[in-house]
Structure 1
Amino acid sequence: MSKGLDTRNMIIKKSAELFNRKGYTGSAMSDVMQITGLEKGGIYRHFKNKDELAFESFEFAINVLRKRYQAAYAQEKTITGKLIAVLSVYANIAEDPPLAGGCPLLNTAIDTDDTHPMLSQKAQKAMDEWLGFLESILQQGMESGDFRKDIDVSEVAVFLTSAFEGSVMMGKLYGKSQYVKMYLNQLYHYLNSCVVN
């Protein structure tokens, strides 16, 4: 890997964490300069503007999440275990979040809903991917006979995501993992009563 590409990747990684903590609108280029140790010209050598850096940083952040979800999914053998595993990736949000600052999808959706339509569209696309991922797990469970045949996979995926993201927000707000763990406790009850055969 060339030195220039190393530098570009370092800027993206550090900016992803910055934007995830402070938001796109709350982060200035001076903040990017401070965390990277580069002058403005050194940053603009790799990115034409703050928007381009934000787009690349968001994609990096989502890829970090994607890898964590995929790893959680792969380590479980049962379909119920796989569903619970992917919804548990923030179980230790205070001690071991996938990315510093909380969930980049949640943070970006809130930060840009009325301020940056293009970044908001990227968040919508990432959410569509996530919902599709959950729906595919639910569909697999229905086909294998592990999950009830009468569930509406779209509705269940939206419900699980809404509760999941709410618990992540509370965990981040209070700096405690107990809220995600409380969600997971209720998730078991919900799955056993509404989804699992």
Structure 2
Amino acid sequence: MTTKAERTSAYIIEKVAPIFNKQGYIGTSMSDLTEATGLTKGALYGNFENKESLALEAFEYQSKILMAAIDKCLSGSGNALEAIFRLTDFYRHYDEFTAPMGGCPILNVGVDAKYNNKPLEGAAREVLRTIEGKIALVLENGVNKGELRLPVPPLQFAKQLFTMIQGAIAMASISGDRKYLINTIAYLDVLVNKEIKK
């Protein structure tokens, strides 16, 4: 059973995570956080050491939501190719998935924190590497089971695949045109069928 303090902390994180994600660490003021939560500055600092620790926990909260969705894609029934297509289908609708979060947490936090918050930058980099590793594992298992053929090592292919996905997310976000995402995912599906399907 959770304590009142734990429930309060969870409530704060849930409310402030989209704000940090949209406005960035520097761009988010304490007044933004108190307004979103309906709590005083003292109440916020009673639950978190400082703004940096709150921002980090907010990112970790959103990362767990994202990782759970990716794990569901990659660990479902079927073979490795089906898992990759579940992943690309997830990213086809990624802008809808991340809208309540304030956008893609990896992209937003990773870029925002690059020059002003090393712990947040490191956390975003770790999530990115974890996702690439999960994709690579699916690919490696697919090759080992004779389901796929890869022109390059699994991790290299996973990195290239994820780079294209993240690039499409960035272009769709910057331009406000989701066709960048839709068209890139459609191309990736063709590429996967052509390059790695046995």
Kindly, what percent of the aligned residue pairs are identical? 27
Q: Name the residue aligned to 2:132.
A: 131
Q: TM-score, normalised by structure 2?
A: 0.91
Q: Offset of 1:92 from its aligned partner? A: 2.3
Q: Offset of 1:76 from its aligned partner? A: 4.5
Distance in 2 (alpha carbons) for counterparts of 1:177 and 1:74: 27
Q: Name the residue aligned to 1:43.
A: 44
Equivalences, count: 197
Q: Offset of 1:82 from its aligned partner? A: 0.7
Q: Offset of 1:149 from its aligned partner? A: 4.9
Q: TM-score, normalised by structure 1?
A: 0.91
* CA contact 1:151–1:195 (8 Å) conserved in 2: no
Whether 2:83 is the aligned partner of 1:108: answer: no
After superposing the two structures, state which structure 1 stretch, 171-180 or 158-167, moved more: 171-180
After superposition, where does 1:36-115 map in structure 2 within 5 Å? 36-97=37-98, 99-115=100-116
Q: Name the residue aligned to 1:4.
A: 5
Q: Name the residue aligned to 2:174.
A: 173
Relative distance call for 1:83 and 1:99 in structure 2 (3 A) is: farther
Q: Offset of 1:159 from its aligned partner? A: 0.9
> Structure 1 regions of 5+ residues with no counterpart?
none
Distance in 2 (alpha carbons) for counterparts of 1:80 and 1:99: 30
> CA offsets, 1:114-173, max 9 Å, x none?
111121111121112111111101101111112115422122111111110111122333
Computed over aligned residues only, the root mean square deviation of the Cα atoms, in angstroms, reads 1.8
* CA contact 1:15–1:57 (8 Å) conserved in 2: yes
Distance in 1 (alpha carbons) for counterparts of 2:35 and 2:91: 28
Distance in 1 (alpha carbons) for counterparts of 2:98 and 2:51: 25
Q: Name the residue aligned to 1:155.
A: 156
* CA contact 1:16–1:60 (8 Å) conserved in 2: yes
> Structure 2 regions of 5+ residues with no counterpart?
none
After superposing the two structures, state which structure 1 stretch, 86-95 or 101-110, moved more: 86-95
Distance in 1 (alpha carbons) for counterparts of 2:70 and 2:99: 10
SS in 2 for 1:114: coil
The one-letter code sitting in structure 2 at the alignment partner of 1:39 is T
The one-letter code sitting in structure 1 at the alignment partner of 2:161 is L
Q: Offset of 1:193 from its aligned partner? A: 2.2
The one-letter code sitting in structure 2 at the alignment partner of 1:17 is P
